Structure 1
Amino acid sequence: MIKKALKLACSTIALSFLLAANPATADANTPETLKRIYEMRTLAYAILSDYYMFSGLEGDSRYNREIESNVKQFEHRLTQITDSGAPSAKLSTLATAISKWQSYKRLLETNRADFLTQGYANARLVSELSDEAVALSNSLGAVYDALISESGIKLSQFTQYTRDMGIIIQTVTAEYAARSTSSLGQVNVITINEGGMDNQGKKFSALLQKLKTEGTSERRIFKLVDQVEVKWEFIAKSIANYNENAVPFIVSSYGDRITSDLETIEEFYSQQLQAKK
């Protein structure tokens, strides 16, 4: 009986070591986890954009609901990437991202409550909310990079193009919403986009051209890329001239549509890469 128990224990330990050492098992969820982290970065800025639309439109209930929906989506993904079985769970960079989210959420709730009870929010706290959004996104970027480095996974360059574009469009949309809906935005949100919205717009356009010239000729995806270009061209002038004829609702709406299109394009390239393995 003792020998049987000992043999079973040894077998269990051996199997545990085998599973831990097996890269295919350890990294099976890495692509999906990376996607979730990317989506969390875009959600962080979408929440900020929704807050500025909410406050700029005098507590518009639609954007209040959007904030709540995006917070739930963010926290759902946070639960997934912190699960003990997730490949990101033991990364040292994850604790910082969790802390940054907690700080961001607290400030968001404070600013929303202030606006709903007073009709306005504290300018300093609104500025801090923008800063926390940037810090949260950067901390998630560190988790993303660490997971790629430690797993050794290779992503399609087009997957990375679309994700970079998705983050750019959300940061630009957030800053535009801030600048065009609130006097606070004129001075407090410059740090959202490094180098300014114009510089980010140029980066977006350059990546878009790479998608068009270097990407697939598959009809459905090529058409989607073309639609992204049309939507981008429609709002690019408004973004460049945010002080003239502000149209925050249009920019916000088109920004979300572009993000959705990019996610579809990204999914195509991710599946294409998996099919080659």
Structure 2
Amino acid sequence: MSSRRSLAFPLSTLLLFLLASLTSPLLNAAPADDLLRLHQLRLATQKSLGDFYMYNGMEGDQRYARMIGESLQEGQAHLDGLGEMPGDASRALHTQLQNGWQSYRSGLQAVMEAMRRQGYTDLQPIADLAANNQRLMAISQELYQKIQQESGFSVPPLTQKSREQSLLMQNIALDYASRSASVGTSFFGGGEERAIDELVGEFASQLDNLSAAQQNTPQISAALGSIETKWRYIEKSLRNYNENTVPFLISKYSDSIIEGLEGVAAQYAAGQQ
């Protein structure tokens, strides 16, 4: 009996240790996964508006109608995939985000329907849509920060820089599409009223910084090299956005650059950088 009793304490301690070691990564994974979903929701939100400007500028080209539908589906899936928020403030922001997303989605679908029905849409609904977009981006950015504060989990620095590059590229593409569609910068949905050449300069500088990071593996360096090749191909057109606009080219290459950057961010995250 005494031998059984002496074994009981070490065994229970071992079980607690194993339980803690198994659940700890799961607890850490939850905010990391939610932050990735939230980031991807932000990308989908911006892409949907940029593709609407392409749809508007190219007089209802159905390829962009399909792309808008895909972005809305992806955004909804990322939003639905968000788990339990870590605190009261993030829960409140999560509710705001859900309401804001539904408002934005409904507004985008309404202007799409107006264009299908009458071949054009008034400027005011587009202005309202862009304003909804900006509010949604602001709420999602605040929630992204709040999840980290309340959970105690921080996105690794190089992962974060890669994600910021993706969003910056998406915002540049959105700005370029709005100008090409003659919608005007007043309807730019990126959340910051900055000259496009300033954004282009920032992207180029930050891409150089990522490429120079000492933590880069050969695979990451190769991926960044491929991104840089694509970037150099469109950089001149972006800087000279008032001359010979090429919205289709910018849209196509920005999608490819963002896909590459998201792959780099995933590699950084796997290496916790």
Q: CA deviation at 1:88?
A: 7.8
Equivalent position of 1:9 in the other structure:
none
Helix, strand or coil at the partner of 1:29: helix
Equivalent position of 2:11 in the other structure:
none
Letter matched to residue 132 of structure 2: E
Given the superposition, is the C-alpha separation of residues 215 and 198 from structure 1 closer, same or farther in structure 2, using an over 3 Å criterion? farther
Q: What count of residue pairs does the alignment treat as equivalent?
A: 253
Helix, strand or coil at the partner of 1:183: coil
Equivalent position of 1:171 in the other structure:
171
C-alpha offsets along residues 4-37 of structure 1, whole Å, 9 cap, x if unaligned?
Answer: xxxxxxxxxxx9xx99xx8655433111111110
Where has structure 1 moved over 6 Å in runs of 4 or more?
none
Equivalent position of 2:256 in the other structure:
257
Task: State TM-score, norm by structure 1.
Answer: 0.84
C-alpha offsets along residues 129-152 of structure 1, whole Å, 9 cap, x if unaligned?
Answer: 122222211111111100111111
Equivalent position of 2:10 in the other structure:
none
Distance in 1 of aligned mates of 2:215 and 2:27: 31
C-alpha offsets along residues 99-150 of structure 1, whole Å, 9 cap, x if unaligned?
Answer: 2212211210111011111111110111221222222111111111001111
Q: Is the Cα–Cα contact under 8 Å of residues 88 and 143 in structure 1 kept in the other structure?
A: no
Q: Is the Cα–Cα contact under 8 Å of residues 100 and 135 in structure 2 kept in the other structure?
A: yes
Q: Is the Cα–Cα contact under 8 Å of residues 51 and 64 in structure 1 kept in the other structure?
A: yes
Task: State TM-score, norm by structure 2.
Answer: 0.85
Distance in 2 of aligned mates of 1:170 and 1:50: 11
Identity of aligned residues (%): 28
Which deviates more from structure 2 when the two are superposed, residues 140-149 or residues 152-161?
152-161
Distance in 2 of aligned mates of 1:234 and 1:192: 26
Distance in 2 of aligned mates of 1:95 and 1:231: 38
Helix, strand or coil at the partner of 2:272: helix
Q: Is the Cα–Cα contact under 8 Å of residues 216 and 222 in structure 1 kept in the other structure?
A: no
State how 1:30-49 maps to structure 2 within 5 Å. 30-49=31-50
Unpaired runs of at least 5, structure 2: 1-15
C-alpha offsets along residues 11-65 of structure 1, whole Å, 9 cap, x if unaligned?
Answer: xxxx9xx99xx86554331111111100111111100011111111111111111
Q: Is the Cα–Cα contact under 8 Å of residues 57 and 182 in structure 2 kept in the other structure?
A: no
Helix, strand or coil at the partner of 1:155: coil
Helix, strand or coil at the partner of 2:243: coil
Equivalent position of 2:58 in the other structure:
57
Distance in 1 of aligned mates of 2:37 and 2:144: 9
Equivalent position of 1:118 in the other structure:
118
Q: Is the Cα–Cα contact under 8 Å of residues 103 and 132 in structure 2 kept in the other structure?
A: yes
Letter matched to residue 79 of structure 1: D
Unpaired runs of at least 5, structure 1: 1-14
Given the superposition, is the C-alpha separation of residues 173 and 215 from structure 1 closer, same or farther in structure 2, using an over 3 Å criterion? farther
Letter matched to residue 120 of structure 1: Y
Helix, strand or coil at the partner of 1:178: helix
Helix, strand or coil at the partner of 1:205: helix
Helix, strand or coil at the partner of 1:210: helix
Equivalent position of 2:138 in the other structure:
138
Q: Is the Cα–Cα contact under 8 Å of residues 114 and 121 in structure 1 kept in the other structure?
A: yes
Distance in 2 of aligned mates of 1:95 and 1:74: 15
Q: Is the Cα–Cα contact under 8 Å of residues 44 and 133 in structure 1 kept in the other structure?
A: yes
Q: Is the Cα–Cα contact under 8 Å of residues 175 and 190 in structure 2 kept in the other structure?
A: no
Q: CA deviation at 1:67?
A: 0.7
Letter matched to residue 266 of structure 1: A
Distance in 2 of aligned mates of 1:88 and 1:237: 46
